[in-house]
Structure 1
Amino acid sequence: MPADVRAQIPPDVVEIERALSRVAHLLSRARQHHQTAAEAGVPVDRAAVPILRLLAEAGPQRSGDIAARLAVEAPHVTRQVQRLEGAGYVERLPDPADRRAYRVRLTPAGREAVERVLDVGRQSILQALAGWDPAERAQLATLFDRMVDDFVRLAAERGILPR
């Protein structure tokens, strides 16, 4: 990026990017995942957690739809689904709209596993923000939701995520 364009970026945007980068790094570290998985008692790969979460939030999905929604390659999802199926966390069922296709859905064990992982992560957030007033946390949650919605919209406009 040319220096004159870089100079036009407001300092608050620079600070937001810096903070997001630091948070993303902290949350995506393998060591962090292993700690969370161990505390939750859920032995899954780091790459499997977004799939479990998506299925918990959106219900049964085709593998291709999972890949599109997570912006990853389909073979990646296929491998993870096979591992999750072997662990008893998901099952593949015929798609009622197309009997040649399959939908992936959580099993009761998978639902329990994802809830435990999310509980551990949420407890960590609560501990990290222990000094925050509940109103400050609520404001942060509102602003984060708004920011994520805007990021998703921009990614869809750029063709990075499906609309």
Structure 2
Amino acid sequence: MDHMSTPPQSAAHPQTGAAAPPDIVEIERAISRVAHMLTRAKQHDRTVAEAGVPVDRAAVPLLGALADAPDPLRPGELAVRLAVEAPHVTRQVQRLERAGYVERVPDPDDGRAQRVRITDAGLEAVERVRAAGRQWMADALAGWSPQERAQLAVLVHRMVDDFRAHSDHLARCDARPAE
């Protein structure tokens, strides 16, 4: 189905009633379509099957966060990074620990606490899942020129950076005491 087959609808802001510009509506629509496609269970199942890594969907971002962290993380830090509740992280860590992908280590700053560290098997699993995902993406974008793919990467990184900066700005505004 052609993604432009239906004209963008102006969406009214729930509080002000102001209509969103059509380009913003289309960006939101495109991001929603990508997010839905990439987070579908079928897509996950295909990717982990190709990678040969039997983990559930919630485990993949957790393993990725640990793989990208320079040091072991506290479960609470993982929850914040993944924007999930701490009990969710605890359950995933337990599953991943049983599978040999992560291990708990003492927290050097607090003898009563533990941190979570990815194991060599976990690093290998992350790389295999990422490689399968990259191959899927390369196959899907095979008709794009290298310049188009590079431009897309630049624009997506810019968008994410701007989204993060805006979220950080709003968080700082929310944290200011009321006058």
TM-score (norm 2): 0.83
> Match for residue 84 of structure 2?
72
Among 29, 37, 41, the residue aligned to 2:40: 29
Q: Give deviations 1:3-47, integer Å, cap 9, x for gaps.
A: 8412xx221111111111001000111111111111100000100
Shift of 1:154: 2.6
> For 2:112, what is the secondary structure of its paired residue?
strand
Point out where structure 2 has 5 or more consecutive residues left out of the alignment: 1-13, 172-179
Structure 1 or 2, whichever has the larger Rg, is 2
What is the alpha-carbon distance in structure 2 between the residues aligned to residue 3 and residue 67 of structure 1?
33
Identity %: 66
> For 2:115, what is the secondary structure of its paired residue?
strand
What is the alpha-carbon distance in structure 2 between the residues aligned to residue 143 and residue 66 of structure 1?
27
Alignment of 1:55-70 (within 5 A): 55-59=66-70, 60-70=72-82
TM-score (norm 1): 0.91
CA RMSD in angstroms, aligned pairs only: 1.4
Q: Give deviations 1:125-149, integer Å, cap 9, x for gaps.
A: 1111111111111111111111111
Report the AA paired with residue 75 of structure 1.
Answer: P
What is the alpha-carbon distance in structure 2 between the residues aligned to residue 125 and residue 155 of structure 1?
28
> For 1:130, what is the secondary structure of its paired residue?
coil
The structure-2 alpha-carbon separation of the partners of 1:133 and 1:150, relative to structure 1 and needing over 3 Å to count, comes to same
What is the alpha-carbon distance in structure 2 between the residues aligned to residue 56 and residue 15 of structure 1?
34
Moved over 6 A (4+): none
**Larger deviation: 142-151 or 111-120?**
142-151
What is the alpha-carbon distance in structure 2 between the residues aligned to residue 110 and residue 51 of structure 1?
11
Shift of 1:106: 0.7
What is the alpha-carbon distance in structure 1 between the residues aligned to residue 76 and residue 89 of structure 2?
8
What is the alpha-carbon distance in structure 2 between the residues aligned to residue 117 and residue 81 of structure 1?
18
Q: Give deviations 1:66-102, integer Å, cap 9, x for gaps.
A: 0011110000000000000000000000011112111
What is the alpha-carbon distance in structure 2 between the residues aligned to residue 79 and residue 156 of structure 1?
29
> Match for residue 155 of structure 1?
167
Among 21, 24, 28, the residue aligned to 1:17: 28
> Match for residue 61 of structure 2?
50
> Match for residue 82 of structure 1?
94
Shift of 1:2: 6.1
Report the AA paired with residue 45 of structure 1.
Answer: D
> For 1:46, what is the secondary structure of its paired residue?
coil
